[in-house]
Amino acid sequence: MKPTKRVLTFLALGAATLSWSAVQAQTAAPAAPATTAAPAAPADPENAEARKILMDMANFLSKTQKFSFKAVGGFDVVQKNGQKIEFGEIRTIDVQRPNQLRADVEQSDGDLATAYFDGKSITAYNESQNLYAQTEVQGSLDATLAYFMKDLKMRMPLAAIIANKSPEALAKRVKSVDYVEDTEMFGTPTAHLAGRTETVDFEIWIDKGDKPVPRRLVLTYRHAEGAPQYRAQFSDWNLAPKFKADHFTFTVPKDASKIAFLNQVKPAGSDKKSGGAP
Domain boundaries, the chain: 21-26+42-264
Identify the DSSP state of 149: I
CA distance 37 to 183: 35
CATH of domain 21-26+42-264: 2.50.20.10
pLDDT 10s per residue in the chain (278 long)? 444 444 434 443 333 333 334 333 333 333 333 334 444 444 444 489 999 999 999 999 999 999 999 999 999 999 999 999 999 999 999 999 999 999 999 999 999 999 999 999 999 999 999 999 999 988 889 888 988 888 888 878 788 889 999 999 899 999 999 999 999 999 999 999 999 999 999 999 999 999 999 999 999 999 999 999 999 999 999 999 999 999 999 999 999 999 988 766 655 554 444 333 32
> Which letter, b or e, does each residue of 210-226 get, where b requires 16 or more Cβ atoms within 10 Å of its Cβ?
eebbbbbbbbbbeebee
Q: Looking at residue 158, what is its pLDDT? A: 85
Q: Looking at residue 269, what is its pLDDT? A: 52
Q: Looking at residue 239, what is its pLDDT? A: 98
Crossing angle, helix 45-63 and helix 166-173, to 10 degrees?
Answer: 150
Query: What is the pairing mode between strands 257-258 and 214-221?
Result: unpaired
CA distance 247 to 102: 8
Q: Looking at residue 160, what is its pLDDT? A: 83
pTM: 0.78
Q: Looking at residue 6, what is its pLDDT? A: 46
Cβ atoms of 232 and 216 closer than 8 Å:
yes
Q: Would you put residue 100 in left (φ > 0), alpha (ψ -120 to 50) or beta?
A: beta
